[in-house]
Amino acid sequence: MRVRASGADRAFAIVVYGLVLAASALALFPLFYVLAISFSTETEYLTRGFYLLPRTFTLEGYLYLMSHPGFMSALRNSVSISVVGTLLNITLTTLMAYGLSKTWLRGRKTLNFVVFFTLLFSGGIIPTYLVVQTLGLLNSFWAVWLTSAVSAFNAIVMRSFFQSVPKELEESARIDGSGEWLLLIRIIVPLSLPAIATFTLFYLAQNWNTYFSAILYLDNDQMPLQVFLKQMLVEDDPSISNASSVAYPYTPAARMSAIVLTALPLLLIFPFLQRYFNQGVMLGAVKG
Amino acid sequence: MTRGYWRRALPVYLMIVPGLLFFIVFKYIPMVGISIAFMAYSPFDGIGGSEWVGLRNFHRLFAEGDFLALLRNTLMLNLFDVLFFFPAPILVAVLLNEIKAKRFKAAVQTILYAPNFISWVVIVGITILLFATGSGGINQLLAGWGFERIELMTDPSYFRWVWLLQNVWQGAGWGAIIFLAALAAVDPLLYEAAAIDGANRWRMLWHIALPALRNVIVVLLILRMGHVMDLGFEHIFLLQNSMNLDVSEVFETFVYKVGMTQGDYSYSTAVGLFKSIVGLIMVLFVNRLAKQTGQEGVF
């Protein structure tokens, strides 16, 4: 018994689809603009105004970056920070969240509070900096890896996820005589791969986009892509730094190519995990 | 409870230890380090040797002219955020929820989630390039249509709007996920019953979808209130330049500058402590308020 769409419903659909398409266009156009300029010659960029499809085609910007020692070193630093950092993040978070998901564990409430309280109150920039300094971690990637090793928020969400894994699995494994480590590695981790992959992506995004801890803790030659890009786009921009007499050191294509290369890795990865975002992994978080 | 318990529990405690060590060393020891807010800390003398000065650093904060400007800027950005950013993900979720074509919906979601994975450096960088006074795409477009070119990044009157719109661009799609999950939990029978009663889609939106979101909205508003002092250091810091400091300096960027650029560790920590305490009080207060008005609260 299909009800015929009334005028009001048709208007509703037009409004919904219209707004959704407009929002998508707004989300996409800056990215397409950057992509278009990254393949354009400088002449086209300077003469054509706003466009999303280049008439010229050049790889000059990308080739320039490939042979730019500063960019390549920043790229290597970003890869190191992200790969090691993310492995550390996901390992510590999974272990801790799984441990804290055991309702029979004594001291569990206190431990949960220890994690939760850091969401409400923090020591601040300088006291944390002094700890890093005292430990001798300044000018080392360890400062970046360790100061962001576990996100309290992610640990709490993952804990409630593990709590939702059926208890029978645990019981049957215990009868087999396996200990907690085997249980975690053989049963829980394979079952939870979608959730673990999702959190790995969140951590990877955080590490790849890290800027603040890099400028706080790292030496000049250890700077990741985000810091390099900031220098390239913001600090060296004559209109911002008020140094209009200084000639701009990079071509438009080089600047846009740097943006593309910095943003692309995460944009290529996240769609594969998208279907897990909606599955309530995050909703548990709201309830604390 | 004893032997058997420990045999079972020891491996579990061992799993927790590495993460716990992180929280102790990098979260709780710094909380002890807050004591330098009450000192005239000098790196040479260290925490043990520096002189205690009581509340002098706090007096300084409230006495100096900076304070009112910091407070005004922080409150204004919060106001912009709650009024204009907060509803954006709700709107996106409601729209997405009305789309029945699965493929189309997934594609739109990919597009709207993508900005969440783009860093502030890139977002601010693209904005600068789009609005560069001479060659920027948007300014060329404006000039072509006969409008004046706008000094988006350096004219302080644009700062709050730029900050807000960049937040919306990055977060409106991603923020919708949580509301989408709440909408997915609505019993489809409600919609069928409403259809039989002759309700059109507008009325279903008003009487079914929006009420379903009420709890999530309240909880997220509570969490948001706890972050009145955390507007996102990185984003604001990247948007700052010598021309917009009057409107763009907030507690977070001030803490960084006083501490790291000027090297005044004690004063910076004092401002940071003030910021953290205000945040903490806000969460506790709003959470209690929510409970008193019959909502669930967060904790």
Cα–Cα distance measured from residue A15 to residue B20, given in angstroms and rounded to the nearest whole number: 51
Q: Which residues of A65-86 are buried (b: 16+ CB within 10 A; e: fewer)?
A: beebeebebbbebbebbbeebb
pLDDT (0 to 100) of residue A245? 44
A144 contact partners, CB below 8 Å, separation of at least 6: A81, A85, A210, A213, A214, A217, A218
Look at residue A288 and tell me whether its pLDDT is greater than 50.
no
A36 contact partners, CB below 8 Å, separation of at least 6: A51, A52, A53, A54
Q: What is the dihedral of CA A201, A202, A206, A207, to 10 degrees?
A: -40
pLDDT confidence tier of residue A5, bands split at 50, 70 and 90: low
Q: Which of A44, A126, A232 is the best residue to mutate to test the B interface, defined by the most B CB atoms within 10 Å of its own CB?
A: A126
- The kind and range of the H/E element at A9 are helix A7-38
- Tell me the domain boundaries of chain B: 67-252+281-292
* A80-100: average pLDDT: 97
- Return averaged pLDDT per consecutive 10 residues of chain B, 299 residues in all: 83 97 98 94 86 92 90 95 95 93 94 97 93 80 84 90 97 93 88 88 89 86 82 94 93 95 94 93 86 71
Cα–Cα distance measured from residue B75 to residue B134, given in angstroms and rounded to the nearest whole number: 34
Look at residue A212 and tell me whether its pLDDT is greater than 90.
yes
Please identify among residues 197-226 of chain B the ones whose CB lies closer than 8 Å to any CB of chain A: 200-202, 205, 216, 219-220, 223, 226
B131 contact partners, CB below 8 Å, separation of at least 6: B138, B139, B150, B152, B153
ipTM of the predicted structure?
A: 0.91
Place of tokens 């069928």: B192
pLDDT (0 to 100) of residue A7? 84
Structure tokens at B273: 């402590």
Show residues of chain A in contact with B181, CB under 8 Å.
278, 280, 282-283
From the list B12, B141, B226, the residue facing A49 with the nearest CB is B141
pLDDT (0 to 100) of residue B185? 85
* A74-103: average pLDDT: 97
pLDDT (0 to 100) of residue A286? 45
Express each pLDDT in B127-143 by its tens digit.
Answer: 988 888 777 788 888 88
pTM (2 decimals)?
Answer: 0.92
Structure tokens at B119: 């860093």
Between the alpha carbon of residue B228 and those of residues A120, B65, B222, B276, the distances in Å are 12, 21, 11, 10
Place of tokens 């409430």: A109
Does B90 touch chain A if contact means CB atoms closer than 8 Å? no
Show residues of chain A in contact with B118, CB under 8 Å.
209, 263, 266-267
**Domain boundaries B67-252+281-292, corresponding CATH code:** 1.10.3720.10
Express each pLDDT in B190-222 by its tens digit.
Answer: 888 998 988 888 888 889 989 889 888 888 887
Measured at the alpha carbon of residue A226, what is the angle toward residues A240 and B107, in degrees to the nearest 5?
A: 105
From the list A8, A237, A274, the residue facing B109 with the nearest CB is A274
Look at residue A280 and tell me whether its pLDDT is greater than 70.
no
Q: What is the dihedral of CA B15, B20, B26, B30, to 10 degrees?
A: -170
Domains and CATH numbers, chain A: 7-58 (no CATH), 69-286 (1.10.3720.10)
Cα–Cα distance measured from residue A96 to residue B21, given in angstroms and rounded to the nearest whole number: 11
Look at residue A284 and tell me whether its pLDDT is greater than 50.
no
Express each pLDDT in A149-181 by its tens digit.
Answer: 999 999 998 998 898 888 777 777 776 767 888
* DSSP label of B84: I
Express each pLDDT in A238-260 by its tens digit.
Answer: 655 554 445 567 888 999 999 99
Does B27 touch chain A if contact means CB atoms closer than 8 Å? yes
From the list B13, B33, B99, the residue facing A123 with the nearest CB is B33
Measured at the alpha carbon of residue B225, what is the angle toward residues B224 and B227, in degrees to the nearest 5?
A: 70
Show residues of chain A in contact with B237, CB under 8 Å.
212
Show residues of chain B in contact with A93, CB under 8 Å.
19
Cα–Cα distance measured from residue A101 to residue A199, given in angstroms and rounded to the nearest whole number: 17
pLDDT (0 to 100) of residue A73? 96
Structure tokens at B237: 């810091």
Chain centroid, CA B57 distance in Å = 27
Express each pLDDT in A15-54 by its tens digit.
Answer: 999 999 999 999 999 999 999 999 999 888 888 878 889 9
